Amino acid sequence: MKLAIVGATGVVGQTILTVLDERNVAVDRLFAYASRDRADGLAFRGATVPVVAAGTERILADAPDVAFFASSDDASAEMAEALAAAGIIVIDNSSTFRLDPRVPLVVPEVNPHAIRPHDRIFPVANCTAIVLCMALAPIFRNVVPQIGSFGGDGDTGEEQKVVAETRKMLERPDLRVAATTVRVPVRQAHSEAVFFETKRATSVALLGAAFDSAPGVVYHPHGIVTPRDVEGTDLVHVARVRPEEDSATHWQMWIVGDQLRKGAATNGVQILELLIAQGHLSAAGRGVPT
């Protein structure tokens, strides 16, 4: 398989390369692009890969099977659709296409069925929304969560992303979500205090069993988990699951996940693996025509 990374020298692009190597994804040839040519190139699997300036015509001429975008919204908006029209699978870490109704928004452990045979553009959701959906999906499959309330006025862009993208991934456009996001000085992990309401009465034991059986989720029935604990991993950790006072339907939990890996690079590579597993993309060639 020929694979391209736009934004290969950035932190997400570098993490994609790391995850591809860790997961032993077959890559016959790698094309690396950045905002300009880089004389020193980059290292991948013992070889030096040239880094050249990204441009639609150049990428089309190189003819990769898959193109990861780990760059700006502008780069994705400028190039992604042209590449997809040429049959190239695009896995995009920018926000450009996340809420576009023409494309799915996939977390492989949550909604792999959202992929359709004709899809060629696959956005990677906002990192905070991915971590949230990984923790909410097990509850949703057992007791249908309903999270707080959504006021609409005064929300930041990050909060709007969490609300809209969570609804799309869980396939619940009616889901009520309230989000408050805060920047804190951690290196590469997101933490979220989540308050949710279940449709019917449940228990810590039932919720814990749902988390224990969910792929990619680690449940901590006792103690806490911190951002430092999860750095460099691909799992979402859930801790401090507890009811609000005198309620069996109002709940709180603490969730933590690495935003560079599961929140970005790893989720993109998992989408690639899912496309291969579902037969939409062969391990050695272009997307399967429909």
Are the CB atoms for 58 and 37 separated by under 8 Å?
no
pLDDT score of 215: 95
Q: Which of 113, 118, 127, 280 is catalytic?
A: 127
Average pLDDT over residues 150-179: 80
What is the CATH number for 47? 3.40.50.720
pLDDT score of 214: 95
Q: Which of 113, 133, 190, 280 is catalytic?
A: 190
- 3-state SS class at 87: coil
Are the CB atoms for 183 and 202 separated by under 8 Å?
no
pLDDT band at 83 (very low <50, low <70, confident <90, very high): very high
Average pLDDT over residues 64-78: 96
272 lies in the same domain as 218: no
pLDDT score of 185: 67
pLDDT score of 152: 45
- Report CA-CA distances (Å) from 214 to 172, 207, 210: 19, 11, 6
Nearest by Cα to 277 from 290, 261, 289, 288: 288
pLDDT in tens, 85-111: 999 999 999 999 999 999 999 999 999
* Owning domain of residue 12: 2-96+263-277
- 3-state SS class at 12: helix
Q: Which of 38-42, 72-76, 101-105 has the lowest mean pLDDT?
A: 38-42
Does residue 147 sit within a domain? Answer: yes
70 lies in the same domain as 6: yes
Half-sphere exposure of 11 (CA within 13 A, CB side): 7
User: Is 190 an active-site residue?
Assistant: yes
User: Is 222 an active-site residue?
Assistant: no
